[in-house]
Amino acid sequence: MMTPRCLVRGSLNNDEYLHVKNLVRAGQTIFSTKYERRAGGKGANQAVAIAKAGGHVDLLGAVGEDGIWLIQYLQAIGVNTDNVSVVETHTGRAMIQVADDGENSIILYPGANFYSLPLPRALDARYTHLLLQNEVLFSSTQTYLRLSKSSNPPIVSIFNPSPMPSKEQIAHIPWISLDWLIVNQGEATTLCEIFTEESILEDTPIPEIITKLCNSPGFYRSTNIICTLGAKGVFARTPHGTIALPAASLQGPVIDTTGAGDCFTGFFVAGLMEHSVSKASTTLSLPELEAILRTSVEASAICVQRRGTIESIPTRNELPQ
Ligand code: ADP
């Protein structure tokens, strides 16, 4: 039996927080009261969550010289960064203004995340799982997804389409290669609208949206769907049935929900890896899936009660045993 190992092909960012009294308006120049630089990028966040959940994980991506600290930071947390290249451009960057009332505005600069790294002909045979988001070049995401199924045995593929790809890109995703789609409620609604070419009414229940999405032409019906619902928990649909799980109960107030979805995704993938379902993902039973979802909602509930993104992701042993 192979030791489960996940490849995350994704983004790394310098997240720069500028604290301001009010968000800057067009034409205005204002002082920031506090500056912080933190590690970010969905690829990095989700890779850290897998590592903290106890999984073996390699991150494949790129930074500029100004991101070498990120490589060291991630390596220290337990993410293998041997496949993170240092390229001749700036590291991806998120410029985040945070106002005193909690309101924020973000500018994303893709930088090295959109650098064209050489594409492989095949994925390394050590990988059992592949996790993708949408913060790197779309052509790379497409290729890796395709390659996951030309591996022998096939690699379990998980895709979190965030930020949402364009309509055109969605039409070019090799859906047949995808085992697990992870979306939040907004992403599920947008995907459903794109596939069905219908608009979805605001209060449409999520199981209805997911069923519509599954039944729409162009979507591969055997793909398992996990839809996170913020404080309402999660809804999952597999060809064997559905599961609705409430969010885990909180010990204290919600402090910061950024990164909750990435924490959920990382713990979910680590759960799949633990169950060693790489040879036959469809054999994961509903009770096994429910156990993985339960761990994932527990981890993300801890995450929302702490400040930060990567910093707020708990380790496996912080979860209720
Ligand atoms: P995203 O950050 O991608 O939009 P969600 O907001 O759906 O993702 O959150 C992901 C998961 O985090 C949820 O499924 C839930 O388990 C947990 N979560 C988010 N917000 C809360 C909350 N207020 N209370 C408890 N758990 C939460």
> Among 292, 304, 319, which is best to mutate for testing ligand 1, by the most ligand atoms less than 8 A from CB?
304
Q: CB 72: neighbour CB atoms within 10 A? A: 10
Distance 248 CA to ligand 1 centre (A): 10
**pLDDT score of 1 more than 70:** no
For residue 276, the CA-to-ligand 1 centroid distance in Å is 26
Percent of the chain with pLDDT over 90: 87
> What is the pTM for the complete model shown?
0.95
- Alpha carbon of 300 to ligand 1 centroid (Å): 6
Rounded Cα gap, residues 10 and 122, in angstroms: 17
**Centre of ligand 1 from the C-alpha of residue 235, in Å:** 12
Instruction: Give kind and range of the element (H or E) at residue 210.
Output: helix 206-215
- The per-residue DSSP string of 3-55 comes to PPEEEEE---EEEEEEEESSPPPTT-----SEEEEEEE-HHHHHHHHHHHTT-
**Ligand 1, atom 21: closest residue by C-alpha:** 231
Name which residue sits closest to atom 10 of ligand 1, judged by CA. Answer: 261
Tell me the average pLDDT across 78-88: 98
Residue ranges of alpha helices (H) inside 95-182 are 138-150, 167-171
Q: Which atom of ligand 1 is nearest to the CA of 259?
A: 2
**Sign of torsion over alpha carbons 77, 245, 231, 196:** positive
Cα–Cα distance measured from residue 5 to residue 115, given in angstroms and rounded to the nearest whole number: 25
Ligand 1 is surrounded, with C-beta below 6 A, by 184, 228-231, 233-234, 247, 250, 254, 257, 260-261, 264, 297, 300-301, 304
Report d(CA 148, CA 169) in Å as an integer: 19
Rounded to 10 degrees, what is the CA torsion of 58, 64, 70, 72? 80
Ligand 1 centre distance from Cα of residue 24 (Å): 29
**Number of Cβ within a 10 Å radius of residue 124:** 13
pLDDT tens column, 138-159 = 999 999 999 999 999 899 999 9
Kindly write down the DSSP assignment for every residue of 238-303, as one continuous string. ETTEEEEEPPPPPSS-----TTHHHHHHHHHHHHHHHTT-TT-GGG--HHHHHHHHHHHHHHHHHH
Is the pLDDT at 280 greater than 60? The verdict is no
Mean pLDDT computed over every residue of the chain: 94
The edge-to-edge listing of strands for the beta sheet with 104-109 is 34-40, 13-20, 92-99, 104-109
Residue range 200-209: mean pLDDT, rounded: 94
Residue of minimum CA distance from atom 18 in ligand 1: 230
Does 120 sit behind a cis peptide bond, omega within 30 degrees of 0 on the bond before it?
no
> Ligand 1 centre and the CA of 247: distance in Å?
7
pLDDT of residue 278: 46
pLDDT band of residue 195 (cuts 50, 70, 90) is very high
Q: What are phi and psi of 44, to 5 degrees?
A: -65, -45
Nearest atom (ligand 1) to Cα of 185:
7
pLDDT tens digits for 244-279?
999 999 999 998 888 999 999 999 999 999 987 544
User: What's the gap in Å between 264 CA and the centre of ligand 1?
Assistant: 8
pLDDT value at 185 more than 80: yes
CA of 121 to the centre of ligand 1 (A): 37
Query: Per residue in 94-140, pLDDT tens?
Result: 999 989 887 888 899 999 999 999 999 999 999 999 999 999 999 99
Each residue's pLDDT tens digit, 13-47: 999 999 999 999 999 999 999 999 999 999 999 99
Q: Which atom of ligand 1 is nearest to the CA of 265?
A: 10
Name the residue with the closest Cα to ligand 1, atom 27.
231
Residues making up the chain, counted from first to last:
321
Q: Quote ipTM for the complex.
A: 0.99
Ligand 1 nearest-atom number relative to CA 296: 16
